[in-house]
Structure 1
Amino acid sequence: MNHELTVQAPSSPEVRQSISLEKSNLLMRPSGSETSLSSLGTAHKNQKKSLCWAGKAGRCHDVKVVSCIFIFDSTQNSIRHLMGSGHSILLAQRLKHDSAHPVPGLHLARLSNAQRYLRWLSIEAKTFNVGNYRRKDAAHPPADFFDTQNEDGEKKRRAAAEAAINDMLSWFRSGGIVGILDATNSTKDRRKWVRELIEAEGIEVMFVESKCDDENLILANIRDVKTTSPDYLGIDADQAATDFQKRIENYKKVYKTIDEDQDEEDLTYLKIMDVGKQVIINRIQDYLESRVVYFLMNLHIRPRSIWLSRHGESMYNLDGRIGGDSELSPRGEEYAKALPDLVRQSVGNDRPLTVWTSTLRRTIATARHLPPNYNQLQWKALDELDAGVCDGMTYQEIKNVYPADFQARDEDKYNYRYRGGESYRDVVIRLEPIIMELERSEDILIVTHQAVLRCIYAYFTEKDQSASPWMHVPLHTLIKLTPRAYGTEVERMSAGIEAVSTWRGKGSTAKHEDPVPEAMN
């Protein structure tokens, strides 16, 4: 039975908040059968149902083509995933007038985002890039290498894909959970071949396809992606874009969208069309699939940056106490007054910016001097890690009163949970809605706390979670994150205002430990 759900963007942004909740309930619902959408009124065979989902009126929801293959290993009673691009694994494509054609590479940021999202949630994920395998034999291939009439090129590309799949399957056997197969599959035959290889291992597949008909957006994204792609290292940006356009023309000759001839309706897939205006979900059958679907629906590729800052130095910081809701110190007040100029130097005068703070006084006070045209929102999810019974204590006091807890936290700081409080892992869980909003938003400034900032920074820079609680995040410093197709650029700007160090090494009870490690390493 084929269950297909179509989601269309609303015409008004006022519905966004309520629709976000509805979409979350829709996509996060666990299920183990193909009738999982029946309770949503979509279980009628070959019938589509339209719902509104959170779009922004007047803004381009640009998307790339990605495809995901989700793996369920019934013998181990565990869900595993193989994710590829677009209408097939790694295919980026666009839809223009009455004909669609692929744009390989537009998916790359989306795929890497899915990987870092899953890893951030402590789900073992790994990308298998077929291009890396292919570059062993053809490091900088010309566009005609990708012509399907080029027998030698076709043979090498197929061999690279097979090698990547074999390595991925071996990785799954050793305990991997989510694999991302990064490759282009623009034809039904290639999708069928990939699917058969995977299903032979007892694996179910889910493809994710995105289409875009915004020519300017496509060209800008091609230039951004391809000038940083290993295929075009050291090559002029315009030359790279021209060559890549020729590669696209070769894919257009054979490109077939998923289920174009209505003979792939048994596939599990997600289609994101017309820059996010419409989403089709077909045969999504389990909880983790729905999590990834929900995440991918919230991504965009518009240029944007995220600025991070801790609150100004607080009175508790001076005393070496953790948690609490104390006021700013005199130097913290000085930083709050200096922050607008620091932000203006990095952001510019005319660039719109939204400011997020926690609900605690020290972050609200730090942001209060920012320009009035910056929309400010307070998030409970951005509050500092809850220290439970240790709230307001110094580390020396914690060691004296709770010596076993002090040692346990040093041994596993990421997973240790304060009595009556939280662990870093708990903070990550409550930050997931923040990450979703950051992925769907444009320029944002977040004024928050040390533990929270560490978790957000670890997400965008793909830092290992076990190391994130030990990162040095200095006070009175503005951090700029700029997501790119192949990673996140990081810039740091110090306000030049002295502050105590709140970093603590393992075993230390010092209020203000010195020297400290390099920031955010």
Structure 2
Amino acid sequence: MKRVTNSSTEISFDSPRGGAQIYTTENGLLYHAGKLVVIMAGLPARGKSRIARLLARYLSWLGVQCDVFRVDEYIESFNSGFSMKFYEDPNTLHEHRYYQKYVNNCLTDINEFLYKQNGQVAIFDDINGTKKRRKELVNLFTKRGIKVLLIESMCTDTNIINDNIATVIKRLLKITNMDYETASSLYNKRVQAVSETYEPVDEIEYSYVKLRNYSEHVITNESNSGYLISRILFLLINIRHSTAAVYLLLSPALKYPLCDFLSATDSTAFVDTLSRAIGVMKSSKHRRSLYIPPCLEQEYISQLSRRGFKVNERIELSPVPLDEYTGFDSLKERLGEVEYGLFQKDPYRYRFINGESLCDLAIRLESLLLELEHESGDIVMMASPYVIKVLYAFFRNIPSSEIIHIPLQPSHIYRLTFLSEGAMLKEYALNEL
């Protein structure tokens, strides 16, 4: 879905595939890792879908072919009439033949993804709230030689639960003609009904990870087998609950080609415009963390600090050689025919003499991206064009082969928020605010 209004563009995107892969193989699979199905479990509004999306994005970043299969999306996308029954009749939710039909459709797509689309990790996102149900799912996949990992998301923090419920209700208002009170009442009935029959994950014969309030408390069982599961654990112990946004924009004072607006704007005017832009975008009330490369002029840092930004200078955001060129013609002139031909074959992995490739940059950024999961407030990231492009590709799940062609607008700011059904992008032109 794409909507354009005056100076802003809003885009919703759902597919977790892509993401500026750090590693790739000829057929897209990590040979030593095998196939894996992650089965999410937990009561409604406990953050299962957000965790599934974070996990898919991170694994895609590592070069793993991964996708999320969320039962709610099947129900809401393919049968809007049934969406109402889904919430009006929660007591028969798991016995309802239509519900099972959508579960089966979801499982069929998982099978097709793993065996016909070269997929490696499928994340099955549903309540999966009984031991009987989980046993059926585990047996279904293990008899095909597929590893299974259960991830249960539990919440005791009412703030997290209320935030998640509010997000679901907003989605219900978009897909049905219910008013807020009706949607809230029906959804809370569903939560209560599922709570009465829910059985926590404690099957010692399975590999599982239990999360309480995201990574506040983590319990694992038989979860140390294999590369994929170890990387999943590495991410899970770093995630936090957050409703904050991520802002991406070009830094105004680095040595690379800029549009007239940024190059002609002094520090005070730029900081004024940036603060106004974030205000227009209805940012959260938390203090905003600003991540910048260490080469930004002190004048800008002082101005930003006075405006309430918590400034973090990070070497991971330093420019790469590609940032020095005004375009591919100047790059060709500098490299020569032979080297430029090698660059064209794989721009993402072409390593400059005494410099880095975009893939090197992605590896450099990995620790910083994990660190961002600890932030509770909004995050603003300013850097050179290709650093922003790689970050943009990570958050928007754009394949590494397309990064070089991302049409990044130098005078625009990009705001990303992350929802259970995907991510939302808003793009604003700074010179129109």
- Into which bin does the TM-score normalised by the smaller protein fall? 0.7 to 0.9
Q: Who wins on radius of gyration, i.e. which is larger?
A: 1
**Quick one: structure 1 residues 296 and 369, their matched pair in 2 at CA, closer, same or farther if it must change by over 3 Å?**
same
**Structure 2 unaligned regions, length at least 5:** 1-28
**1:177 counterpart = 2:117:** no
CA distance in structure 2 between the partners assigned to 1:357 and 1:301 by the alignment: 24
Shift of 1:232: 4.4
Q: Which of 286, 302, 309 does residue 242 from structure 2 map onto?
A: 302
Shift of 1:304: 0.8
Q: Is the CA contact 2:173–2:183 (under 8 Å) kept in the aligned structure 1? A: no
Residue matched to 1:332: 263
**Quick one: structure 1 residues 233 and 300, their matched pair in 2 at CA, closer, same or farther if it must change by over 3 Å?**
farther
CA distance in structure 1 between the partners assigned to 2:69 and 2:328 by the alignment: 44
Residue matched to 2:187: 244
CA distance in structure 2 between the partners assigned to 1:408 and 1:230 by the alignment: 51
Once the two structures are overlaid, the 10-residue window that deviates more, 226-235 or 405-414, is 226-235
Q: Which of 340, 357, 370 does residue 406 from structure 1 map onto?
A: 340
Q: Which of 218, 227, 233 does residue 293 from structure 1 map onto?
A: 233
**TM-score under structure 2 normalisation?**
0.80
Q: Which of 376, 384, 389 does residue 319 from structure 2 map onto?
A: 384
* SS at 2:303 equivalent: coil
Residue matched to 1:52: none
Residue matched to 2:357: 423
Once the two structures are overlaid, the 10-residue window that deviates more, 352-361 or 177-186, is 352-361
Q: Is the CA contact 1:339–1:495 (under 8 Å) kept in the aligned structure 2? A: no
Higher RCO by CA contacts (8 Å cutoff, separation 6 or greater): 2
Shift of 1:142: 4.0
**1:83 counterpart = 2:38:** yes
Shift of 1:394: 7.7
Amino acid at match of 1:433: S
Residue matched to 2:140: 197
Q: Is the CA contact 1:460–1:483 (under 8 Å) kept in the aligned structure 2? A: no
Deviations for 1:164-193, whole angstroms, at most 9, x for unmatched residues? 223312321232111111222000000001
Residue matched to 2:22: none
Pairs within 5 Å for 1:356-505: 356-361=291-296, 366-372=300-306, 373-386=308-321, 396=329, 398-400=331-333, 401-441=335-375, 442-496=377-431
Counting matched residue pairs gives 392
Q: Is the CA contact 1:223–1:237 (under 8 Å) kept in the aligned structure 2? A: no
Residue matched to 2:273: 342
Q: CA RMSD in A?
A: 3.2
* SS at 1:147 equivalent: helix
Once the two structures are overlaid, the 10-residue window that deviates more, 110-119 or 176-185, is 110-119
Q: Is the CA contact 1:352–1:374 (under 8 Å) kept in the aligned structure 2? A: yes
Q: Is the CA contact 2:257–2:324 (under 8 Å) kept in the aligned structure 1? A: no
Deviations for 1:230-251, whole angstroms, at most 9, x for unmatched residues? 9944433332222111111221
Residue matched to 2:47: 106
* SS at 1:302 equivalent: coil
**Quick one: structure 1 residues 405 and 158, their matched pair in 2 at CA, closer, same or farther if it must change by over 3 Å?**
same
CA distance in structure 2 between the partners assigned to 1:83 and 1:365 by the alignment: 48
**Structure 1 unaligned regions, length at least 5:** 1-72, 92-101, 321-328, 498-521
* SS at 1:258 equivalent: coil
Shift of 1:105: 6.5
Deviations for 1:101-139, whole angstroms, at most 9, x for unmatched residues? x22563112212222222233321122222344454634
CA distance in structure 1 between the partners assigned to 2:94 and 2:88 by the alignment: 7
Q: Which of 84, 91, 97 does residue 140 from structure 1 map onto?
A: 84
Q: Which of 99, 123, 130 does residue 157 from structure 1 map onto?
A: 99
Q: Which of 172, 175, 198 does residue 255 from structure 1 map onto?
A: 198
**Quick one: structure 1 residues 464 and 392, their matched pair in 2 at CA, closer, same or farther if it must change by over 3 Å?**
closer
Q: Is the CA contact 1:414–1:425 (under 8 Å) kept in the aligned structure 2? A: yes
Amino acid at match of 1:196: N
Q: Is the CA contact 1:134–1:157 (under 8 Å) kept in the aligned structure 2? A: yes
Structure with a larger share of its residues in helix:
2
